Amino acid sequence: MTWADYLFGALVAAAAGLDRTAAFQLMISRPIVCAPLTGWVIGEPMIGLQVGALVELLWLGRLPVGAAVPPDDTQVAVGATMLSAAMASVSAGSETAVILLCLLVAMPLGKVGQIFDRRVRHYNARLVRAAERDLESGQLERVCRHHLKGLLSFGLASVFTAAIIIVAGSLIVSLLGPLVLGRIEAMNLWLALAFPLVGTAVILGTINVSRAGTLFAASFTTALLLLWLL
C-alpha cells in the first residue's frame, strides 16, 4: 500500500459516506458496492468483493426509521477493505483469514462512526440558523450555500471514521494477528459462513413479514434438498 492508495481510499470513504445520507443516495454506500470500489482503486478488487459480500447482510435490516442512526456499515466496509489489503501483504495467514480478522476488528470500531454521524446531525442545526440570519438581512442568494456546507461536515465525519478504523485497526490486527490468525485459518470456512447466516437471522428478526421464520425455513430446506439431490 502506497500513500496514493490511502489517498484514493479516503476519496472513496468520503464519496460513499456522503452517499449514505447527505447526497445522491445511489447506494454506493452499501458494503456490496463501496468495498469492491475501495478494492478496485487500491488494486485489490477481490479483497473488496469478499469484504462487501460478508458485511452486506449484517446491517441491511437496520432501517433508518425515526431518530435512530444506524451503525456506519459503509466505513466498516471501506476501512476493513483497506485494512485487509494492507495486512494481507505483510502477514503469514491466508487472504481469507486476514479478511475475517480485519472485519471482526473493524466492526466494533465502526461504532465511532455512529458518534461522528450524530455529532454532524447536531452541528448542522447551525447551518439552519446561519441561513435564517441571511434571510433576515435579505441576502437570499446566500441561503442555499449554507445548506451545501453540510456536505463538508458529513464528508469529514466519514473520512475520520474510516481513518480511525484503519489506524486503530492496524494496531489491533498486528497485535492480535500472530495470536489468532492460525485459529481463524482452521475455521475459515465456518466463520465465512457465519457472517451471512447471522445477517440473515437479523433480517428475519426485524422484517415486516408475517411468519418470516417459517417462510425462510421452508425455502432453506427446499433449496438444501435440491442442492443435495442434484
Alpha helices per DSSP H over 25-72: 31-41, 45-56
Tell me how far CA of residue 80 lies from CA of 58, 120, 161, in angstroms: 14, 23, 12
Number of residues that bind other proteins (CB under 8 A): 99
How far apart are alpha carbons 36 and 79 in whole angstroms?
12
Is residue 132 at the binding interface for other proteins, with CB under 8 A as the rule? Answer: yes
How far apart are alpha carbons 70 and 73 in whole angstroms?
8
All residues at 6 or more sequence positions from 163 whose CB lies less than 8 Å from its CB, including other chains: 10
- Residues 42, 82 contacting (CB under 8 angstroms): yes
Smallest gap from Cβ 135 to other proteins, in A, equals 6
Applying CB under 8 A, which part among 2-10, 78-86, 137-145, 160-168 lies near other proteins?
Answer: 137-145
Candidates 9, 17, 52, 93: give the one binding other proteins (CB under 8 A): 52
Smallest gap from Cβ 59 to other proteins, in A, equals 7
Letters for 70-109 (x = contact with other proteins by CB under 8 A, - = none) are: -x----------------------------x---x--xx-
Candidates 4, 90, 147, 171: give the one binding other proteins (CB under 8 A): 147
Within 13-42, which residues bind other proteins (CB under 8 A)? Answer: 21-28, 30, 32-33, 36-37
- Residues 131, 123 contacting (CB under 8 angstroms): no
